[in-house]
Amino acid sequence: MRPEPTAEFRHRTVEAPAGRIHLVEQGTGPLVLLVHGFPESWYSWRRQLPALAAAGYRAAAIDVRGYGRSSRPAATDAYRMLDLVEDNLAVVRALGEESAVVIGHDWGSNIAAASALLHPAVFRAVGLLSVPYAPPGGPRPTDVFSRIGGAEQEFYVSYFQEPGRAEAEIEPDVRGWLAGFYAALSADTMPAEGDPDPHFVAHGGRLRDRFPAGELPAWLSEDELDVYAAEFERTGLTGALNRYRNMDRDWEDLAPHRGAPIEQPSLFVGGTLDASTTWMADAVDAHPRTLPGLSASHLPEGCGHWIQQERPDEVNRLLTDWLRTLQD
């Protein structure tokens, strides 16, 4: 599998609270803003940009602050959710639009949801991939994550909290780490049931100790891995990891919106083999209440975490079919 031709991709940077946000766009029509997750970039949407453009939309995939060619503020607390939402607002305005449909994957799903929750007049509909919507509230996040795993292992979110700790594991071999991380969460290469779970770290160990060794997942070529690796070798991982280091700040910042539903039209798509979807099954079940504008929840069988890359044709069909309903 080779990377898709990028001749029609238009790269640009726009001013935003982060400093600058880099984005790649294709097509003309109503704006669809695409927001990636960890550890990815605009390139995660390379197979959606042409499909959305062909369907009559102006698709714009951003590098979230801290990633790629976007600005990387030095302060850890510059990566709180409120700041990322403001970046999305700035992108819409810089593109000369008054509103957009926002679609996110992984952390991008949370960012898209928060954008829709806080600015419903701008983000008129929201699509969530892999991570379902859970309204703000509940116990403090780091308290919850610190209890997951028990005495023998540590949950990866807790592992990511201390500045520099995960960077020390990843940055000496960015390409190898990314290959293992992508494989660990892909349907065709993830560890078999009963093997050590790669979402956890043995005390004194590394996250990569539980990554599968061997070939890349079917959706990822060596050339495509090179694209991801080159970006993170240049930028490092701190900006990306700082998203995890602001979960408690987000919990405090969003306290006024505890329990709040998102009223706009919405869509959820999550793979049946994706822990981000299955661990949050209760949130998916609650979508009729928390996402009253939900069109549908789609759960592709046998699909892992990198859903729009593992199942591009299926995801493209689901997205374009849903987007058409917004114009009826």
**Catalytic (active-site) positions:** 106, 305
Residues 6 or more apart whose Cβ sits within 8 Å of residue 247? 141, 142, 157
Phi first, then psi, for residue 61 (nearest 5°) are -105, 125
Check: CB of residue 126 under 8 Å from CB of residue 56: no
Distance CA 15, CA 149 (A): 42
For residue 49, the Cα-to-chain-centroid distance in whole angstroms is 16
Distance CA 201, CA 207 (A): 5
Check: CB of residue 106 under 8 Å from CB of residue 252: no
Distance CA 239, CA 147 (A): 26
